[in-house]
Amino acid sequence: MTQARVLFAGTPEFALASLMALTDAGIVPLAVLTQPDRPAGRGKRLTASPVKRFALELGIEVLQPPTLKDPEAVARIAVFEPDILVVAAYGLILPQSVLDIPSRACVNVHASLLPRWRGAAPIQAAILAGDAETGISLMAVTAGLDSGPVYVKEALAIGGEETAGELHDRLATLGGELLVRHFDAIVNGTLEAIEQDESRATYAGKISKQDAQLDWARPAEELHRQVRAYNPVPGAFFLLDDMPIKCWSAGIVAGAAGTPGDVLSAGRDGIVIACGRDALRLDRLQRPGKRPVTAGEFAGSVAMTGRRLG
């Protein structure tokens, strides 16, 4: 591999896959940038990011500026005189003052086939839209939102039952592989980055908890995608007597009909809810503070037959 002075910026598990791929290939960053420790878990204890924990294990210096608008933070980064800055799900916008620091390149590992699904939640957006495929793009970072020219991209087919969590893991692995495969060419300037077609750009905004609520007036196919897209976070849900019930797994019952929200059947084979078109079979559910159970177990403890859900 080409010898280069590398900085890495990333925070969650998706970013960790790229960092591990680099270090496995003998490319050890001089330092990593990652988000400040955040409260997590029931106890809300301050918790280091996956990238920070891994970096500390390897003795890599960790920088955690709360903002990159601070000139002191930018100056601290510039001290390393990097040739390349590798970014993967970092979580902070990189100002031009930071983009100007690397002498050769600033590359981002993005989980979509750009220009489709720029933004914060491209994996979920691809599932929600019913896309047949998604993938990884290695993009030159610019001041715009995921709008920089693309070095290379590689597609993955999306499984018909695949959840966002499962697709995330496959994309994270591919991202690391693609990064290492093309690292030398990016650093050496022999891989040309091609400008994106702005007319084809789509955007995947941040996800709110309310986005995950199931609306029975919509087609079952769309709700099925919603269940998959919001597994594991934040979890698709519906209200039962004002209690939010999360649905972790579901299926489509084609041809089933009724008033949207009607419980058509409830038993060991699942709980079938009429939708705007077809019906949704709920397979795995979870009440607040309880463990996930099969829909059959749920129906055995909660009267569902004949009900209409709001």
pLDDT tens for 6-59 read 999 999 999 999 999 999 999 999 999 999 999 887 778 899 999 999 999 999
Residue 30 CB coordination number (10 Å)? 16
Judged on CB neighbours under 10 Å (0-12, 13-18, 19+), 147 is middle
Query: What fold does the segment set 6-204 form as a domain?
Result: Rossmann fold (3.40.50)
pLDDT of residue 144: 86
pLDDT band at 2 (very low <50, low <70, confident <90, very high): confident
Residue 12 CB coordination number (10 Å)? 18
Cα–Cα distance measured from residue 114 to residue 195, given in angstroms and rounded to the nearest whole number: 10
Looking at domain 209-301, its CATH architecture is: Roll (3.10)
Which of 171, 168, 100, 184 is closest to 135 using CA atoms? 171
pLDDT tens digits, 257-268: 999 999 999 999
Which of 92, 13, 104, 79 is closest to 51 using CA atoms? 13
Tell me the sheet residues that pair with 271.
266, 282
Backbone angles phi, psi at 47, to 5 degrees: -130, 135
pLDDT of residue 44: 83
- The dihedral region occupied by 89, where left means phi > 0, alpha psi between -120 and 50, and beta the remainder, is left
pLDDT tens digits, 196-235: 999 999 999 999 999 999 999 999 999 999 999 999 999 9
pLDDT band at 150 (very low <50, low <70, confident <90, very high): very high
**All structural domains of the chain with their residue ranges:** 6-204, 209-301
Structure tokens belonging to residue 27: 């490319």
pLDDT of residue 40: 82
